[in-house]
Structure 1
Amino acid sequence: MTLRARTTPSSLSWHSGQDSVTVSSLSSCSSPPGAAPRGGCIMSEAGHILGPGEDSPANGDEIVRHIAAWTSELQNALELVEAAAFSPELRYSIEDMRERAGRQGFEGMLLEDASGPAAIMLVYRLESEGGLYLDTLAVRDRGRGTGTRLLTFLIHRCRSAGIAEIRLDTEMGPPPATAGRPAGQDLPAYYKRFGFEEVPLGSGDAGLELPGTAELAYQEAAPVSRKAAPVSRKAAPPDVAETVPGNLAMRLRLR
């Protein structure tokens, strides 16, 4: 499968007090801060959301890299984060990722700190639905608010871009314990903190959606900034395959 060409990285710095965030773009679709996204890119302003805060690394620096194509370097970063976030059967091979990178509107962001890759989020468009599918939200260190910051940004940016809805599939219950860390919090309960509600799906599986009247409900994520990061994984989206048995299909309606 042919991947989209990787352009020469460019960067800018955003300052807040004594701290700074460097935003490195790996895509030709980046827009200036405050400008509308070009070509369907919805993550070009990530540095303005994923800025330093009380849960930042000790040196106060984070690097946010926009992803528009897949490389062996990104695969290595994904594998490092997945080793901490997921059990082996939930991890993606480079063949899996090359297939996903060829899907319509594939986008992502990699968050790095002084310890290396800290989180990764991958999405692509659902053209038939006018929506976006959140394929992966993986965080190396639970309980630091990283997943909440990523998800909050995604919801906010999708609203601004006029995305109709965000879909994802997640495991029922908490993420399992992995080497060196305990199980996380209950995942459906995590998303309900953002205003999601359970709705029945035609397949008989349970689902979640955010009512369209819940304007700016993403702001309610702040109280859970110290909670465990979510894990969105690994079933194919509804227009590709049926939800994996035991997974919970979720939908956040934005308009």
Structure 2
Amino acid sequence: MAADDQIARAPHHVACIMDGNGRWAAGRGRPRLFGHHAGARRVKEIVRACPDLGVRYLTIFAFSTENWKRTQSEVSGLMKLFRRYIQREARDLLAEGVRVRFIGDRVRLDEKLVRLMDELELLTSRNDKVHLTIALNYGGRDEIGRATKRLAQEIADGKLSAHEVDETTLARFLDTHVLPDPDLVIRTSGEARISNFLLWQSAYAEYEFIDTLWPDFTREEFSKVLRAYGARDRRFGAVPA
């Protein structure tokens, strides 16, 4: 497939479940956080590849609502990594035209991290080359639950009638209300499950489960997955003409 054809057939929005950082580190006799740092560097490479590959929206699953069950040392290390990533990458993200958004429940996150998240969103708010969404303390069921509460409050306040509620209405209350739904969801590391990620938004997404661990997921492999997506026939419930 020629480069121009690949871009034309590329998914508009790709979501990634970045799995395998811990196993990647363990395979090298290193602690799990070593793998998370390697995974963060891979994020930078994939973000930079998006414009050339025709991807305008990239959503990455950084930390789930279930990840709090991990050891305190790993959770603390991840929070430190998120703060460091924002501080170190802010200038490059701005210069490279990347707009950053965060989705998820921020209530449990520490104040410094939330402040950095807010600042990065504001700093990059005028960028439009690549839209990078980072799911942090995110869970699909939690998101739908929070959205439902906000919708119910609107009805209770008389701002919305129950008869007006449909799937379009609920979507307006989701964390992702300003984003298009993902066309393709990629999960690395050989696991074939969606782990509570973008449950509502991925109703008609294509899925690709690959064996590669996230720190080894190169630009070349990303391109290969996108080419495979371009060859699929997406019918959205219709039958071929």
| Fold shared, TM-score > 0.5 on shorter chain | no
Q: Relative contact order, CA 8 A, sep 6+: which one is greater?
A: 2
For normalisation by structure 1, the TM-score amounts to 0.28
For normalisation by structure 2, the TM-score amounts to 0.29
**As a proportion of its length, which structure holds more helix?**
2
**As a proportion of its length, which structure holds more strand?**
1
